[in-house]
A and B are shown apart, each in its own frame.
Chain A
C-alpha cells in the first residue's frame, strides 16, 4: 500500500517531535536524569549485548581494541597527537597550490561581498528577467525529460528484441527436448542422449527465467515512465509561479505608475537633514565671503 505525501510528512513530524519530548523531560532534573538515563541506557545495551550470541564483555574492551588495532598492519599509536598535526602540515606543504595564509578567509569574504554588491541588482535584460529564467528552466526540463523517455523507450525496444530471441531459442530447445526424449526412450543405454536431454530441459528453465526477468524489467521501465508524469506536474507548478510573478509585476507597475500628466521635475540632491554633505550656516557664509573677495 502506498503512502500519501501527507502521511509521510506526518510520520516524519512525529519522528522529529519524539526527541524533543525526551529533552523536555530531562530538562526538569538535568543531572539526575542524565546520570540515571545514562545508567539505564548502558544497562539496557549491556542486556541486549548479553542476549546476543557471541558477544561477551570481560570488562577489558579498551584493551581489546588496542590489541585489535595493534594486530592491523600499518596501525601504530605513538600517543603523539601533536606530531600527527605536524604531519598534516608536512603533507599539506607537499601539495602544490596549498598555502597557509591567515588572512585568506576574510579576504575571500570581502571579495565575495564586493562582487555581490556589484552584481545586484542585475540589469533589466532579457536573460535576467525572472519569468524568462523560469521559462528556460521549464523548457530545459521538458527537453531532458524527453531524452530520458528516449532512453526508457530504447530499453523497452531492446527488451522486446531480447524477448523475441528468447522465444526463438525456447522453441528450438523444446524441439530438442522432444527429439532427445524420443531418442532416450528408444536408446536407453546411450548415455549421451540422456545427458543432453537433461541439459536441454535445464536450458528451458533458463529461458523461462530470462523471459521473467525481461518482463520484470519492462514493468520497472513502465513504472519509471509513469513517474515521469511528475515532470509535467512540476512544470505546471513553475508555470503557476510565473503567473504569480506576471500578475505581481503588472500590479506593481500599475500602482507605481504616474498618470498625473505633470512633467518630471529635477529632484534636489542635498536637502538639510540628509547627512553630513549639506553645508552649515558658517560654511555657507565663509563660502559666500570667499567668492565675494574673488
Chain B
C-alpha cells in the first residue's frame, strides 16, 4: 500500500495519546507516512501527561487518543479537553468496539472513532475527513 496523501501543511501538530509504546509508534509511523514530520507530533502515555502537554503547548491541530489508560483515561481526557476547546478534532483509537462505547465517546465530544486493529488507510481517511471538515 503506497500512501501518496500528504496532510502536511493542513494538519501541523498532532498529539498521540496511548499507554502502549508500540501503539504510539505505530500511529506515529502512520502519520509520518501521511507526511507529518517527526517533530510535528507529540506522544503521551496517559491522559494526565496529554492534558499537561495540551495546556503547555496548546497548538495541536488534532488529538488521537486511546480509551483505556492508567491515571486518566481517554474519555476523561476528551471531556477535559472539550471543557476548554470545543473545536479541536479528536479521534478515539481504541480496542473498545461496542456500540455503547462509541455512543459514549461521541457524546463526550469525540469527532471520529477508530477500532483497533486499523489500517493506515482508515486513519488517513478519518484525518482527511477532519481536515475537509
* Chain A interfacial positions (CB closer than 8 Å to B): 142, 145-146, 149, 153, 215, 219, 222-223, 225-233, 235-236, 239
Please name the residue on chain B nearest to A227 by beta carbon: B117
Please name the residue on chain A nearest to B32 by beta carbon: A156
- Name 9 extra pairs, CB < 8 A, besides A145-B22, A215-B2, A222-B33: A142-B22, A146-B25, A219-B2, A225-B29, A228-B22, A229-B26, A232-B23, A232-B95, A233-B117
Whether the Cβ atoms of B22 and A226 lie closer than 8 Å is: no
Write the B101-120 contact mask toward A (1 if CB under 8 angstroms, else 0): 00000000000000011111
User: For residue B18, which residues in chain A have a CB less than 8 angstroms away from its CB?
Assistant: 232
B55 beta carbon closer than 8 Å to chain A: no
Docked Cα-Cα span, A145 to B20, in Å, equals: 10
Docked Cα-Cα span, A219 to B29, in Å, equals: 12
With A215-B2, A225-B29, A236-B95 as given contacts, are A149 and B117 in contact (CB-CB < 8 Å)? no
Whether the Cβ atoms of A230 and B29 lie closer than 8 Å is: no
Write the B38-62 contact mask toward A (1 if CB under 8 angstroms, else 0): 0000000000000000000000000
Q: Is the interface of B mostly helix, strand, loop or mixed?
A: loop
B73 beta carbon closer than 8 Å to chain A: no
With A230-B117, A233-B117 as given contacts, are A225 and B21 in contact (CB-CB < 8 Å)? no
The 8 A-B residue pairs with the shortest CB-CB distance, nearest first, are A229-B117, A145-B22, A232-B20, A232-B23, A149-B25, A146-B21, A229-B116, A236-B95
Docked Cα-Cα span, A226 to B25, in Å, equals: 10
Write the B57-92 contact mask toward A (1 if CB under 8 angstroms, else 0): 000000000001000000000000000000000000
With A233-B95, A236-B68 as given contacts, are A228 and B2 in contact (CB-CB < 8 Å)? no
Docked Cα-Cα span, A239 to B116, in Å, equals: 16
Whether the Cβ atoms of A226 and B20 lie closer than 8 Å is: no
Whether the Cβ atoms of B120 and A226 lie closer than 8 Å is: yes
B5 CB to nearest chain A CB (Å) = 14
Docked Cα-Cα span, A85 to B26, in Å, equals: 58
- Total A-B residue contacts, Cβ distance less than 8 Å: 54
B47 CB to nearest chain A CB (Å) = 17
Docked Cα-Cα span, A229 to B118, in Å, equals: 8
Whether the Cβ atoms of B22 and A231 lie closer than 8 Å is: yes
User: For residue A145, which residues in chain B have a CB less than 8 angstroms away from its CB?
Assistant: 21-22
Whether the Cβ atoms of A222 and B29 lie closer than 8 Å is: yes
User: For residue A149, which residues in chain B have a CB less than 8 angstroms away from its CB?
Assistant: 22, 25-26
Docked Cα-Cα span, A153 to B68, in Å, equals: 26
Docked Cα-Cα span, A148 to B33, in Å, equals: 19
Please name the residue on chain B nearest to A138 by beta carbon: B20
Please name the residue on chain B nearest to A235 by beta carbon: B20
User: For residue A233, which residues in chain B have a CB less than 8 angstroms away from its CB?
Assistant: 95, 116-117
Docked Cα-Cα span, A228 to B24, in Å, equals: 11
Docked Cα-Cα span, A159 to B68, in Å, equals: 35
B34 CB to nearest chain A CB (Å) = 12
Whether the Cβ atoms of A226 and B26 lie closer than 8 Å is: yes
Which of B18, B21, B118: most chain A CB closer than 10 A? Answer: B21
With A222-B120, A236-B68 as given contacts, are A229 and B29 in contact (CB-CB < 8 Å)? no
User: For residue A219, which residues in chain B have a CB less than 8 angstroms away from its CB?
Assistant: 1-2
Docked Cα-Cα span, A229 to B23, in Å, equals: 6
Docked Cα-Cα span, A222 to B123, in Å, equals: 14
Docked Cα-Cα span, A228 to B18, in Å, equals: 14
User: For residue A146, which residues in chain B have a CB less than 8 angstroms away from its CB?
Assistant: 21-22, 25
Please name the residue on chain A nearest to B3 by beta carbon: A222
User: For residue B22, which residues in chain A have a CB less than 8 angstroms away from its CB?
Assistant: 142, 145-146, 149, 228-229, 231-232
User: For residue B118, which residues in chain A have a CB less than 8 angstroms away from its CB?
Assistant: 226, 229
Whether the Cβ atoms of A228 and B26 lie closer than 8 Å is: yes
User: For residue A236, which residues in chain B have a CB less than 8 angstroms away from its CB?
Assistant: 68, 95
Docked Cα-Cα span, A215 to B1, in Å, equals: 9
Docked Cα-Cα span, A236 to B22, in Å, equals: 13
Between A and B, 12 residue pairs with Cβ closer than 8 Å are A142-B22, A149-B25, A225-B25, A226-B117, A227-B117, A229-B23, A229-B26, A231-B20, A232-B23, A232-B95, A235-B20, A236-B68
